Amino acid sequence: MTTPLRLGIAGLGTVGTGVVRIIQNHAGLLAARSGRTITISAVSARSKGKDRGVKLDAYAWEDDPVALAQRDDVDVFVEVIGGSEGPAKLSTEAAIAASKDVVTANKALLALHGQELAEAAEAQGLLIRFEAAVAGGIPAIKALTEGLAGNEITRVMGVMNGTCNYILTRMESAGLPYETVFEEARALGYLEADPNLDVGGIDAGHKLSLLSAIAFGTRVDFANVELEGIGAISIEDIRQAADMGFRIKLLGVAQMTGRGLEQRMSPCLVPASSPLGQLQGGTNMVVLEGDSVGQIVLRGAGAGSGPTASAVISDVIDIARGNRLSTFGQPARTLRAARAAKAAVPAPYYLRMQLIDKPGALAKVARVLGDGGISIDRMRQYGHEDTTAPVLIVTHKTTRSALDEALEGFSATGVVAAPTVAIRIEAV
Amino acid sequence: MTTPLRLGIAGLGTVGTGVVRIIQNHAGLLAARSGRTITISAVSARSKGKDRGVKLDAYAWEDDPVALAQRDDVDVFVEVIGGSEGPAKLSTEAAIAASKDVVTANKALLALHGQELAEAAEAQGLLIRFEAAVAGGIPAIKALTEGLAGNEITRVMGVMNGTCNYILTRMESAGLPYETVFEEARALGYLEADPNLDVGGIDAGHKLSLLSAIAFGTRVDFANVELEGIGAISIEDIRQAADMGFRIKLLGVAQMTGRGLEQRMSPCLVPASSPLGQLQGGTNMVVLEGDSVGQIVLRGAGAGSGPTASAVISDVIDIARGNRLSTFGQPARTLRAARAAKAAVPAPYYLRMQLIDKPGALAKVARVLGDGGISIDRMRQYGHEDTTAPVLIVTHKTTRSALDEALEGFSATGVVAAPTVAIRIEAV
């Protein structure tokens, strides 16, 4: 057995303590599998005194994660602080400057600074590994970077924010409005301090941008992820979608098209019977499609101490085993700049509108769609509520721009009482 | 860029030609990702003249795969011949003797000879990689060996024979008996030359034994996989199971218990709404459970040229990247001999019996179960057919030995007209 691999762990929250726990409980197993003893030299967190339910007294303590990253007795810097700036970024930069490999669970950091961090690390022959940053315990980064490395990747999809999926499935199962379930989720501690990171799709968008970079050999381009949160999804849409055999998911989709790289994180309708449609509660799913392999579906816990720590440890074991893989699966300097697709590929859309009770109202709406080249696949009109009637339309494939024009056209008809809801239907 | 990695491909059937195709079509992609050019030096198959739809004239030809394995211009020997003995085994041994890394899709070879082959390879610092041997394009070996390496694995499950899953789902969807669908599958070319490899569970059992070795750090022990094929599954059982919310799958289960390693490949009832229950047709699924990560589900094509070749290439790229992993995730000489569990852990069972129309018949059967300590969860009796009535029972958890005693006891009652069908219900 060779020399031990010595970790410095920055951040002792849910993930950090999970990592400590695995290393303490499974020392023999990890050594048998990696061929090296894996030890912890030092740890760092904001408050030293706090009881975290794990024994830490055998490890040196650093108040400053930058100092931790620079210690001579640290081979691998494990960054589980979180946040795209501040201590997480400073200490990761310090670790690279001090010639340490880095394992991180930090999607925000890599989504915003991944390119320069990877280039800096690779210039010194160092690694940045981030399995834990995407879809928690699911080995999605490894599946894409290594398991499917022989494929031209055609599409990557994912439900990668457990909180949003919890909210959407709870709305459906309990028949509760968004606002009520949002407050429940907050009370349960499921939401980030800034809830918009979750429900605005930002956190999941960060993850999608990392998958895109690997899949398409392009620089991480979070700025061009089209983001739409779940805040506008009503219980009515969830019910109507269910009635037509669909479920609404906050779905990330990345694909390389003739017009550039398309990256979207937005609510979509997917067939209720599909693996994505079946996904309940906080579970995550990543769907990878390649020209040879077809469709691979990966499902598991997307968050939590154990699952996320499991992913961190898999990166640590890879390093212990000598697996020296580039951050994004190929040298960072060889990644191409992504040309962002201006518009999403055409898709069918679900439309829900409030039609004013006037003769010829439906014909007017249908004419707007027809004039825009949008044909109707299915339509349902329900009984009137006071002076308006809910109308549901599923279109055939159309572009979002044609649809947006039609939505504007609806207003001009004078027969639509409220803004029309439009949700993309993704073929999964 | 360093020197090219040169392959010798033995076997040019579905998988071999798929590998050639990926290397020809994706040369640039593979080089970008692996940092080396991947080339083919030579190929080998039984008949040289055959048109295989790929250009082979740039490669040297060897009639004998052993000669291929020994060529100086081959760095990695790709064995896609198949079969546990004969040319596949001889050429793999020759490759190791000639200091070549090996990539194989051969589950039978590794299930029967994996231990000695891995020891021979590792004694020379060589690799045997076999992602393609289990569940086709699904990166299941990688997920288990690397992605979940920080976990004590608690259970591994899988539907890993697409032909059996095709037969079972087709029986249900078309309402056809086993024999009819079996002949359909034969006509479609889905069955091995010896169909018992598929429907007897042997092929899937080989795969399970390989997963077990990695999961539990034990020597491959195919001889102790409890095998039961799907030949006895009737359309009646499929219908009754569906009616109670279950589907019947040829399910592999491996788990380490207090009484040793349990490995089973047998028809089981699983909830129709579970990911395993939802699996239709030839698709494969592997379920991995670890103490930290919880349950990870992997789904994809289990066979076919593209998916299997995708898995072969992922192993080749790993070698090109310098990822030097032991065959079973830890050195073969450190694997423990598996102590086989004598009996499966208790489970509920589904029983279907033909009760003779006599007063007190049901009471007699119920008494046999009660005397054996087996309690009844659900029971259904249907209308009489002539002089017998079908009775369905779902038991609470019981051991297989208690159940077997009860099944014998049924005969002694004189009220059971035919052998009782008993199928395990697996909690998935």
The residue written with tokens 């081959």 in the block is B74
Two tokens, residue B271:
């909830």
Residue B304's pLDDT band (cuts 50, 70, 90) = very high
Contacts of B325 in chain A (CB under 8 A): 321, 323
CB contact under 8 A, A300 and B296: yes
DSSP string, A302-370: -SSHHHHHHHHHHHHHHHHHT----TTSS-GGGPBPPPBPSSPPPB-EEEEEEEES-TTHHHHHHHHHH
Q: What is the pLDDT of residue B98?
A: 98
Tell the burial category of A67 from Cβ atoms under 10 Å away from its Cβ (0-12, 13-18, 19+): middle
Q: Rounded to a whole number, what is the distance in Å from the CA of B296 to chain A's nearest CA?
A: 5
Question: Which residues between 79 and 108 in chain B have a beta carbon less than 8 angstroms from any beta carbon of chain A?
Answer: none
Backbone angles phi, psi at B105, to 5 degrees: -110, 15
Task: Tell me the two tokens of residue B329.
Answer: 């995730």
Report CB contact under 8 Å: A139, B149.
Answer: no
DSSP string, A377-415: EEEEEPPPBTTEEEEEEEE-SB-HHHHHHHHHHHHHHT-
Cα distances (Å, whole numbers) of residue A11 to A65, A142, A189, B182, B295: 8, 24, 19, 57, 26
pLDDT given at position B321: 96
Task: Output B380 or B270, whichever has higher pLDDT.
Answer: B270
**Among the partner residues B34, B150, B304, nearest to A26 by beta-carbon distance:** B150
Which residues numbered 138-167 in A keep a CB inside 8 Å of some CB on B?
138-139, 142-143, 146-152
- Closest C-alpha to B226, from B112, B348, B340, B350: B340
Tell me the C-alpha to C-alpha distance, in Å, between residue A345 and each of A229, A256, A287, A289: 20, 10, 18, 16
pLDDT band at B92 (very low <50, low <70, confident <90, very high): very high
Residue B383, pLDDT score: 77
pLDDT of residue A175: 95
Residue B101 pLDDT: 98
Assess B35–A contact: CB distance below 8 Å, yes or no. Answer: yes
pLDDT beneath 50, residues of chain A: none
Please, where are the H alpha helices in A35-81?
A: 65-70
**Across the interface, do A294 and B316 touch by the CB < 8 Å criterion?**
no
Min CA distance, A303 vs chain B (Å)? 10
Q: What pLDDT does A358 receive? A: 86
Average pLDDT, stretch B110-126?
98
Domain assignments of chain A as residue spans, ordered by start: 149-301, 349-425
Domain spanning A349-425: CATH 1.20.1050.10: no
CB-based contact A310 B143, cutoff 8 Å: no
Please name which of B38, B227, B213 lies closest in space to residue B117, comparing C-alpha atoms. B213
B342 pLDDT higher than 90: no
Average pLDDT of chain B to the nearest whole number? 95
pLDDT confidence of residue A383: 77
Distance from CA of B417 to the nearest CA of A (A): 40
Does B20 have pLDDT greater than 70? yes
Domain B5-133: homologous superfamily in CATH = NAD(P)-binding Rossmann-like Domain (3.40.50.720)
Chain A interface, mutation test: which of B293, B330, B333, most A Cβ atoms within 10 Å? B293
What pLDDT does A341 receive?
Answer: 93
Three-point CA angle B353, B355, B360, nearest 5°: 130
Amino acid at B358: K
Q: Is the per-residue pLDDT at B1 higher than 70?
A: no
Judging contacts by C-beta atoms under 8 Å, the chain B residues touching residue A32 are 217, 330, 334
Q: Give the tens place of pLDDT for each residue, B133-152.
A: 999 999 999 999 999 999 99
B140-301 folds as Dihydrodipicolinate Reductase; domain 2 (3.30.360)
Cα dist. A79→A58, A89, A202, B15 in Å? 19, 9, 20, 42
Q: What is the ipTM of this complex?
A: 0.96
Residue B357 has a pLDDT of 86
Active site residue B207: yes
Average pLDDT of span B320-329: 96
Taking alpha carbons only, the member of A422, A421, A414 closest to residue A355 is A414
Measured CA angle at B297 (ends B295, B300), to 5 deg = 170
| Mean pLDDT in residue range B41-52 | 94
- Mark which residues 208-267 of A lie under 8 Å from B by CB: 217
Catalytic residue among B207, B249, B342, B364: B207
Contact A325 B323 (CB under 8 A): yes
CB pair distance less than 8 Å for A317 and B217: no
Residue B298 and residue A293: Cβ atoms within 8 Å?
Answer: no
Chain B residues with CB-CB distance to A271 below 8 A = none
Interface of A with B in 316-355 (CB under 8 A): 316-318, 321-325, 329-331, 334
- Out of A207, A249, A358, A397, pick the active-site residue: A207
Per-residue pLDDT, averaged over B364-372, amounts to 94
Judged by CB atoms closer than 8 Å, whether chains meet at A296 and B296 is answered as no
Whole-number Cα distances in Å, B291 to A126, B54, B150, B155, B296: 30, 46, 9, 10, 11
* CATH class of the region A149-301: alpha beta
Å between A314 CA and nearest CA of chain B = 5
Q: Which of B130, B145, B310 to mutate to test the interface with A (most CBs of A within 10 A)?
A: B310
